[in-house]
């Protein structure tokens, strides 16, 4: 391998910038010329590709989001535009791709590989932590820290005003963020798609606390349940506790990457460049507890189902009923 193009795609996540920086520097150390693709899949089609320079990397490590920018592109569904992307790579002598993103990005690059044989390796980066086969995706730790800082602040005002707060967190149909942040913030309620919840049982559990004069009640709800608004009304109508709902939204994606995300970015990037040098042509770098980093065929990742740590599920189960 003489050259590689590095790109970020899909939703932005803290940790993408450190991964780009490390991938460029490690590629150079292995005598591979690194290129940068700007604007994700759209940039591949439009030829927004340039040789990486030190200026491009300057100040990148501590920045959230992605300085390469990212964009979803409906045009990439077209064979014609995937062909244009391939021609742009060939015109610059780029042999392989390293994509940092989520399962949608991996599916798009897998189709490019199937149509035109463009080799690629993927690094999972999404705050949802919902990619099959890996225990960790870049950006998750930073997002959890953002959530916990927000919930700690809301706890202060909830206790001051004697209120219940319902906090909706991201995750699509995966409840990982909600589970971890519920435990870390001491929430009384956690509602996630993976665990059945029982409002009658929650009512019985919390009623005595309300009668004893508890200063606040906190609930964290995964967006995939679509239940945050209903739970807010339930606090008012059933428990007779004044309540407020806070949707953290895209604030969870921002912020300077934590030390853990920076370190994991370096490890993912080294593993990805090594995989490309070893001749991998359509695999994803995954991290598993106790097993370190390994490679999975892309179809196992995009077609698989995310499995959440059973211990985490058991710890959260009492908060659901």
Is the domain of 130 the same as that of 149? no
Find tokens 């598993």 and name the residue: 288
Tell me, yes or no, whether 91 lies in a domain: yes
Tell me, yes or no, whether 83 lies in a domain: yes
Active site residue 229: no
Longest dimension (CA), the chain: 72
Cα→Cα distances 278→93, 120, 283, Å: 19, 12, 12
The count of residues in the chain is 321
Question: Residue 122: what pLDDT?
Answer: 98
Is the domain of 207 the same as that of 85? no
Tell me, yes or no, whether 184 lies in a domain: yes
Question: Residue 231: what pLDDT?
Answer: 96
Task: Report yes or no: 165 and 158 within 8 Å, Cβ to Cβ.
Answer: yes
Give the active site residue among 128, 130, 135, 261. Answer: 128
Is the domain of 210 the same as that of 262? no
In 3-state terms the chain splits into helix, strand, coil percentages (rounded to 5) of 50, 20, 35
Is the domain of 111 the same as that of 45? yes
For 159, the domain range is: 142-252
CB-based burial of residue 44 (10 Å sphere; 0-12 exposed, 13-18 middle, 19+ buried)? buried
Beta strands in 102-254 (DSSP E): 120-124, 164-169, 189-191, 217-222, 243-247
Mean pLDDT in order along the chain per 10 residues (321 residues): 96 97 98 98 97 95 96 91 98 98 95 97 97 97 97 88 92 97 97 96 88 85 97 92 94 96 98 97 92 95 94 97 92
Is the domain of 124 the same as that of 234? no
User: What is the side-by-side strand order in the sheet with 292-297?
Assistant: 49-51, 33-37, 3-8, 96-101, 120-124, 282-288, 292-297
Cα→Cα distances 37→8, 12, 85, 110, Å: 8, 15, 11, 17
Domain count, the chain: 2
Is the domain of 20 the same as that of 165? no
- What's the CA gap between 129 and 252, in Å, rounded? 13
Q: Which two tokens stand for residue 155?
A: 């706890």
Question: Residue 34: what pLDDT?
Answer: 98
Question: Residue 73: what pLDDT?
Answer: 85
Is the domain of 148 the same as that of 213? yes
Tell me, yes or no, whether 235 lies in a domain: yes
Is the domain of 108 the same as that of 158? no
Residue 3's H or E segment, with its range, is strand 3-8
233-245 burial: b if 16+ Cβ within 10 Å, else e: ebbeeebebebbb
């Amino acid at each position: 391998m003489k050259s590689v193009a590095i790109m970020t795609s899909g939703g932005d996540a803290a940790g993408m910038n450190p991964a780009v920086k490390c991938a460029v520097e490690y590629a150079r150390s292995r005598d591979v010329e690194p290129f940068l693709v700007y604007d994700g899949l759209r940039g591949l089609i439009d030829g927004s590709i340039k040789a990486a320079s030190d200026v491009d990397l300057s100040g990148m490590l501590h920045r959230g989001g992605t300085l390469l920018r990212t964009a979803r592109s409906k045009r990439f569904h077209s064979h014609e535009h995937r062909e244009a992307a391939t021609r742009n790579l060939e015109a610059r002598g780029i042999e392989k791709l390293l994509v940092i993103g989520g399962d949608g990005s991996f599916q798009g690059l897998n189709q490019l590989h199937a149509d035109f044989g463009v080799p690629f390796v993927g690094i999972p980066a999404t705050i949802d932590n919902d990619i099959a086969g890996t225990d960790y995706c870049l950006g998750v730790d930073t997002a959890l820290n953002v959530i916990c800082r927000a919930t700690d602040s809301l706890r202060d005002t909830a206790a001051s005003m004697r209120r219940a707060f319902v906090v909706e967190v991201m995750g699509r149909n995966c409840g990982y963020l909600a589970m971890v942040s519920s435990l870390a913030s001491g929430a009384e309620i956690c509602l996630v798609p993976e665990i059945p919840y029982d409002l009658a049982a929650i009512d019985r559990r919390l009623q005595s606390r309300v009668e004893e004069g508890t200063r606040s009640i906190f609930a964290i709800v995964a967006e995939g349940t679509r239940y945050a608004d209903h739970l807010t009304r339930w606090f008012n109508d059933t428990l007779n506790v004044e309540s407020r709902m806070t949707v953290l939204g895209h604030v969870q994606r921002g912020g300077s990457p934590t030390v853990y995300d920076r370190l994991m970015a370096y490890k993912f990037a080294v593993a990805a460049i090594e995989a490309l040098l070893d001749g991998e042509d359509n695999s994803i770098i995954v991290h598993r507890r106790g097993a370190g980093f390994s490679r999975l065929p892309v179809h196992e990742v995009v077609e698989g189902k995310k499995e959440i740590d059973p211990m985490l599920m058991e710890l959260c189960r009492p908060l659901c009923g």
